[in-house]
């Protein structure tokens, strides 16, 4: 199905972007020495991991529900 392929491609792109941000956050964590900065970075990492889990769960749900079409407005790639 063309639609599910587009959803899968979009999910893969967003997942890759989030994984890159997690990697950058890990590098910053490795270099951080200030406890306050470390706490903020850990909170960011947790938020990114949660968002990644949401994206992957949504993608799996879409594959399991081929009759359902989500509008692109339901996807929010913006990261906090």
**Does 56 fall in a domain?**
yes
| Model pLDDT, residue 72 | 46
Alpha helices, DSSP H, located in the chain: 2-31, 35-64
Task: Give the DSSP letter of residue 66.
Answer: T
Domain that holds residue 31: 2-61
Residue 22 inside a domain? The answer is yes
Q: Within a domain: residue 49?
A: yes
For 68, phi and psi rounded to 5 degrees?
-85, 135
Query: What pLDDT is stored for residue 61 in this prediction?
Result: 79
Please list the pLDDT of the chain residue by residue as tens digits (80 residues): 444 565 688 888 999 999 999 999 999 999 999 999 999 999 999 999 999 999 989 877 777 776 655 544 455 555 54
| Residue 6 confidence (pLDDT) | 59
Query: What is residue 8's predicted lDDT score, i.e. its pLDDT?
Result: 80
Q: Which residue has the tokens 């938020």?
A: 47
Is 80 within a domain?
no
């Amino acid at each position: 199905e063309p639609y599910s392929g587009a959803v899968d491609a979009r999910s893969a792109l967003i997942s890759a972007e989030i994984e890159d941000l997690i990697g950058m956050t890990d590098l910053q964590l490795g270099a951080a020495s200030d406890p306050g900065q470390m706490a903020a970075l850990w909170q960011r990492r947790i938020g990114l991991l949660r968002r990644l889990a949401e994206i992957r769960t949504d993608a799996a749900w879409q594959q399991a529900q081929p009759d359902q079409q989500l509008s692109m407005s339901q996807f929010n790639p913006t990261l906090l």
